[in-house]
A and B are shown apart, each in its own frame.
Chain A
Amino acid sequence: ETGVTQTPRHLVMGMTNKKSLKCEQHLGHNAMYWYKQSAKKPLELMFVYNFKEQTENNSVPSRFSPECPNSSHLFLHLHTLQPEDSALYLCASSQAGARANTGELFFGEGSRLTVL
């Protein structure tokens, strides 16, 4: 139990569906992240939110749309995805602040997404 909860744990969707991934942290952190992990590849940072404001968008396609309504919750809205988007999507949180962002990240268990 890391204090970061992701739902759903598994999601199968068609290319025309719209779905959302949810992340919630109970650690009092004020920075939240979305990462993508594809098999045998490095973790890819997608989005960073500091104090609810998006501070990083790593050239992620617009079919992925993040939302951060407060410091404890983070969503990733998905629409018209492609089969190559199938991956493990990991949410993480940490204390915000320039140097703190390089420190410990606390990850959720991930949402395994399969796009048919």
Chain B
Amino acid sequence: DQQVKQNSPSLSVQEGRISILNCDYTNSMFDYFLWYKKYPAEGPTFLISISSIKDKNEDGRFTVFLNKSAKHLSLHIVPSQPGDSAVYFCAASGRSNYQLIWGAGTKLIIKP
């Protein structure tokens, strides 16, 4: 049973528009969430994180929103650029278990 779910295997967005990647989780004990980005033939790289004491964290073009009541987080990329084409992984952890639990990833394709 997957505790972290990324229900969209892929997403296609026009360059310059907003990309919204979604992630749902089931474990209410999760209190820290991260997004990683992965290019082909490379390892994942850390992008942005959010603690459960916040509902929003922004870093340049990237903003992560957390809705604890819905157990949902989203990553917004504005404006989307061709270099954003990659697989994006959502991950979560909780106080009782510091391991990261990962989603299956969403492949983002930015169209010119």
Contacts and interface: CB of A to CB of B under 8 A. Distances in A.
Contacts, number: 57
Contacts of B34: 102, 104
Interface string B87-112: 00101010000111111110000000
Interface residues of A, number: 24
Most buried by A among B42, B46, B91, B98: B98
B43 interface: yes
B99 to A, nearest CB: 6
Interface residues of B, number: 24
> A interface, by DSSP: helix, strand, loop or mixed?
loop
25 contacts: A2-B43, A4-B43, A40-B9, A41-B104, A42-B2, A42-B89, A42-B102, A42-B103, A43-B91, A43-B102, A45-B99, A45-B100, A90-B43, A102-B32, A102-B34, A102-B100, A103-B49, A104-B34, A104-B49, A105-B100, A107-B43, A108-B43, A109-B41, A110-B41, A110-B42
